[in-house]
Amino acid sequence: MRTILHDPAVAWHLRTFESWGTRTDFSKWTEYEWHDIATDGHEGGKLDEITSEYWSEAEYEYFEGYFRTGLDLPGVDTDPYMGVVRDGQDKWLKAILLAHCPRLRNLAFMRYSADDDMTHPVHAIVEVICFIHLNRQSISDPVRWPAGFQSLRTLSVGVETKHRDVTPGEGYCLDPRDVALLLLLPNLETLSICGIQDAENRYLSDESEEFEPPARRSPVQHLHLQDAYCGLQPIVQLFMVIKSLKSVLLVDCDIIEGDGDGWDESMIEHLTRAHAESLESLLFSIISTPAREAYPVPYPRYDPSLTRHLKQLRHVSINLRDLYSRYPNSTSDAQQCSHSGTLRGLLEGYLPPSLEVLHICDDSDRMPTDDFDSLPTDALDGLDNALLHLLLSGACPKLAVIDLRGLVYDIGDEVFGQTLARGNTMDVQFLLKGEQSSIPSIIAGMPRPVTEQDLLTSPGRD
């Protein structure tokens, strides 16, 4: 940080920043001596712990002045913030560091276990955003952003890493209202959040708690949510803050209805109506690992007919159960034929001609409860016929990938022979259970969690 503060050239060249946690006091501060592994043969040794004297009084004065000038918070009482800085808490120092970097594009906060004292480093970013908006004399005044906040394009909070083992449900979580504030960063394009829950007590000041993000203000185009467990309205607010959303990725999310359990189907309806003209990708997935089996969540559910209003839709996930739940179950041959025809109608009539990737999934083996209708006995045959008619009808002329890896069934040539053969002649790729695709997973319709690799391939990285 000293280098950034005293050498503008270094700050100018910083494009990506990762935060692996927060120091809460000086007992957790340590200095490391780094060596060149190629010449010294080791990474370096841990030196003595440091104290508040690590920063000089001139530096403390600079920090205090920067709260008012660099962060553009002239009316804010800086005593509480300088108090925690002098005690060794570093989240506000991270905010100052980020503000100093005029070409910072990618910011990532790695996932780690929750702290009792609410010291997640993203808190400082959220509160600065809130104060910047509250500091304006009127809504018409321009928002003055610190340089690093203005240049940011990609923000990932809760990045999962192999270097830290965090059990699902135990990692640090943000309140949806904090996520709404992050959406206000002026040039942010992609926001990925892992870990969202309604918080009983937030860390913001009373004045900040009352701030409501303005509608249709956020420039974010890509919203990725993972491990979100909260009510409907806070999530709907996120959709309303964004101007024009292009892609939504939901991984292991459970948006509950009212005070009860169970997926609130109206969430997808709110999303598709708010961004019908811009939405290109609506994808969801479940992460299958032993650690997550104790925290089962359902696939999102919605009426597939909602997709016909999405004129730009290219990639979509549909729950197989939603397709079959549009008509009553029956075992009679005549009604089975009728049901198969209804399924064909759902696919042909509701999928827009712009569609390129269709991802069909099923969670019947994960959520075996009375809340879920049982699938008809001819489920696979009906799906086979419906997909075959979809290909032959030309309703989706751009369709290139049909991803069936999310089904619990093992689909082979015997069951899907006609459809697979027709797909091969039409250059349509079928992705079956157990197969790996050469197509990037985000395009193939099989989303995955935000990972360290995303930091290397995120948009805007030089």
What digits encode the pLDDT tens for the residues 71-119? Answer: 767 667 788 888 888 888 888 888 899 999 999 999 998 876 655 455 6
Count of domains forming the chain: 1
CA distance 308 to 299: 20
| Residue 365 lies inside a defined structural domain of this protein | yes
CB 304 within 8 Å of CB 268: no
The amino acid occupying position 404 is L
Of the ranges 17-26, 85-94, 336-345, 401-410, which one carries the lowest mean pLDDT score?
336-345
Q: Model confidence over 2-12: pLDDT tens digits?
A: 888 888 899 99
* Mean pLDDT of the region 250-263: 70
Kindly compute the dihedral angle of the four CA atoms of residues 407, 413, 415, 420, in this order, to the nearest 10 degrees: 80
Higher pLDDT, 45 or 127: 127
3-state helix, strand, coil in the chain (%, to 5): 35, 20, 45
pLDDT per position as a tens digit, 432-459: 876 765 444 444 333 344 444 444 444 3
Q: What percent of the chain has pLDDT over 70?
A: 70
CB atoms within 10 A of CB 59: 14
Q: What is the pLDDT, as a whole number, of residue 27?
A: 76
Quick check: 256 pLDDT over 80?
no
Q: Which pLDDT score is estimated for 437?
A: 53
User: Is residue 52 predicted with pLDDT exceeding 50?
Assistant: yes
CA distance 105 to 170: 29
Across the strands, what pairs with 34?
44
In a domain, 149, yes or no: no
Question: Given a cut of 50, is residue 37 above it in pLDDT?
Answer: no
Residue 256's DSSP bridge partners are: 231, 263
> Can you give the residue range of the structural domain that contains 328?
307-454
Identify any residues that bridge with 248 across adjacent strands, giving them in sequence order: 223, 282
**Number of other CB atoms surrounding residue 166 within 10 Å:** 20
Predicted confidence at residue 444, as pLDDT, reads 38
**Contact between 88 and 26 (Cβ < 8 Å):** yes
Distances 264 to 139, 279, 298, 359, 391 between C-alpha atoms, Å: 34, 20, 11, 21, 32
Q: Is 10 inside any structural domain?
A: no
> Nearest Cα to 148, choosing from 128, 175, 123?
128
Separation CA 138–CA 172 (nearest Å): 35
Residue 164 domain-assigned?
Answer: no
DSSP conformation letters of 213-260: PPTT-B---EEEEEEEEEEHHHHHHHHHHBSS--EEEEES-EEE-TTS
Looking at the predicted structure, is the pLDDT value of residue 298 above 50?
yes
| Position 58 pLDDT exceeds 70 | yes
Are 202 and 181 within 8 A, CB to CB? no
- Strand partners for 255: 230
Identify whether 18 is part of a domain. Answer: no
Taking CA atoms, 316 is separated from 95, 110, 347, in Å, by: 37, 28, 12
pLDDT at 65 over 80: yes
Phi-psi region of 22 (alpha: psi -120 to 50; beta: other; left: phi over 0): beta
The burial class, CB within 10 Å (0-12 / 13-18 / 19+), for 334 is: exposed
Tell me 342's DSSP state: H
Q: What are phi and psi of 246, to 5 degrees?
A: -100, -40
Over 70: is that where the pLDDT of 205 sits? no
What φ, ψ does residue 45 adopt, rounded to 5°? -115, 155
Mean pLDDT, residues 220-245 taken together: 90
In a domain, 278, yes or no: no
**pLDDT tens per residue across span 333-383:** 334 444 556 677 778 778 899 999 999 888 766 654 544 455 665 677 778
Mean pLDDT of the residues in the chain: 76
Question: What is the token pair recorded at 249?
Answer: 């990725």
CA 159 – CA 458 distance, rounded (Å): 13
- Name the DSSP class of 451: B
Residue pair 401/357 in contact (Cβ under 8 Å)? The answer is yes
Alpha-carbon distance of 246 to 218, in angstroms, equals 13
> What's the rounded mean pLDDT across residues 390-407?
88
Q: What is the pTM of this model?
A: 0.84
Distance CA 120, CA 307 (A): 38
Residue 265 backbone dihedrals phi, psi, to 5 degrees: -65, -20
- Per-residue pLDDT reduced to its tens digit, 146-165: 999 999 999 999 877 666 66
The reported pLDDT for the residue numbered 446 is 34
- % of the chain with per-residue pLDDT over 90: 20
Specify if 395 maps to a domain. Answer: yes
Inside any domain, residue 35 = no
